[in-house]
Amino acid sequence: MLSRFYLVFLVLVSFILYFSTFSWAENKRIVLVHSYDCDDACGGPQREGVLEAFNSSPLAGKVEFFDFYMDTKNKNVEHKSIIKVAKEAIEFIKKINPEIIICFDDNSFLYVGMNFLKDKNKSIVFTGLNGLPEDYNKIFNFMISREKPGYNVTGVYEKLYVQKSINVFKHILPNLKTVLVITDNTTTGKALSKQIFLETKDLTDIEIKNIVVENFEEYKKIILEINKKKQVDAIYPLALSLRQGKQIVGPNEILAWTIKNSRIPDIAVNYYFCQLGLLGGATVDFKEMGKQAGEKAIKILQGVAAGNIPIDDARAYALAFNIQRAKMLGLNIPKNILFAAHRIYKDIKVFEYEK
């Protein structure tokens, strides 16, 4: 009698385990909403990081991922177009009905993610957010504090390591006095300008200037002018989406033109831009940032409420340098700096993107 009881018990447990596993495979879904297009230099590594986090976790193979690319950097740049594609993304999410929405960059978070704020059936994880969470919170009230957001939102703030880059550049350029930051007028561009101001406002020995450009022609004019007049010692090119006539020029073409026409040392915001050909610095590790966001999503699927998971700064940066760019600029990067680098690139790969 007792053995029969155990047999029935084991059968029941087996059924429960089978159906719970089946339910997991069927029901756990994540929608990745990208502000970018599918080939973007900023979004691609973050996506890789998210997937890497899951593939190295107990949830490997148990979660379905669905991508939606808003392409707000090259195609859907105007506000009207962003609103339209955001509505499409929202409908896509409703159709998939995921447990988690991961938003890449500011536009996907603001125009899509916030439509699901306080939805009891969905959690929102952001990565690559440039605007201060506190600033966006004044509009949407999505967090009580970074340490304990409290609602259904958590994520990773894209902290730029500007001061670290400047400190590194001081070793390469002993006479460094002036850095020009060039941003565009997009949501991300405005957020970058503010973040750089906040991070460098206490610098006393370096002057940080910021110019916001409206189009590619204005950008070119500024680059040529500062090269001719030798007005600055280094540039931080962050204008990554610029209008040229009726077309939108993206980062690959902008950086290709910059590297070809400028002989001013350039700070790279991320290691991919260094690989393309910018000189380098303390760069954002986009893949690691995506992995950090993926780890938060894993915790949510394991039962931790998003509101109990802190909103963190991007935890990792990579010292990266492009040796070929240094040669173009006539610079010798000290050996101790190169030895400390996480990534060293020997070729400039961006010229293929120049039109």
pLDDT digits (tens, 9 = 90+) for 94-113: 999 999 999 999 999 999 99
- The percent of residues in the chain predicted with pLDDT above 70, rounded, is 91
Interatomic CA distance for residues 91 and 172, integer angstroms: 51
Range of the domain at 205: 162-284+318-352
| DSSP letter, residue 308 | G
Alpha carbon dihedral 326, 330, 334, 339, in 10-degree steps, equals: 20
Specify whether 95 is located in the same domain as 211. no
- Which 3 state secondary structure label does DSSP give 54? helix
Instruction: Please give the single-letter amino acid code of residue 169.
Output: F
Specify whether 186 is located in the same domain as 98. no
Specify whether 260 is located in the same domain as 311. no
Q: Are residues 64 and 124 in contact, defined by beta-carbon separation less than 8 angstroms?
A: no
Specify whether 154 is located in the same domain as 254. no
Interval 279-307 mean pLDDT: 95
Report the helix count and the strand count for the chain, using DSSP H and E: 13, 14
Q: What single string gives the DSSP state of each residue in 319-353? A: EEEEHHHHHHHT----HHHHHH-SEEE-S---GGG
Q: Which residue has the higher pLDDT, 27 or 2?
A: 27
Residue 274 lies in a domain: yes
Predicted pLDDT of residue 75: 84
Predicted pLDDT of residue 26: 63
Specify whether 194 is located in the same domain as 302. no
Residue 74: which CATH number? 3.40.50.2300
Specify whether 189 is located in the same domain as 266. yes
Structure tokens at 300: 């949510």
Specify whether 80 is located in the same domain as 147. yes
Specify whether 88 is located in the same domain as 231. no
* Residues near 36 by beta carbon (within 8 Å), at least 6 away in sequence: 42, 43, 69, 70, 71, 72, 73, 104, 105
Q: Residue 88 to residues 40, 85, 100, 195, 221: CA-CA distances in angstroms?
A: 20, 5, 17, 30, 38
| DSSP letter, residue 79 | H
- Our count of domains for the chain comes to 2
Q: Does residue 11 register a pLDDT over 50?
A: no
Residue position matching structure tokens 């993926």: 294
Element (H, E) at 140: helix 133-140
Q: Are residues 350 and 322 in contact, defined by beta-carbon separation less than 8 angstroms?
A: no
Mean pLDDT of the chain: 89
Predicted pLDDT of residue 272: 86
Residue 7 lies in a domain: no
Specify whether 37 is located in the same domain as 113. yes
Specify whether 111 is located in the same domain as 63. yes
Specify whether 222 is located in the same domain as 348. yes
Specify whether 293 is located in the same domain as 221. no
In this prediction, residue 352 has a pLDDT band, given cuts at 50, 70 and 90, of low
Q: Does residue 73 register a pLDDT over 90?
A: no
Q: Which residue has the higher pLDDT, 9 or 70?
A: 70
Alpha carbon dihedral 91, 117, 112, 80, in 10-degree steps, equals: 100
Q: Does residue 229 register a pLDDT over 60?
A: yes
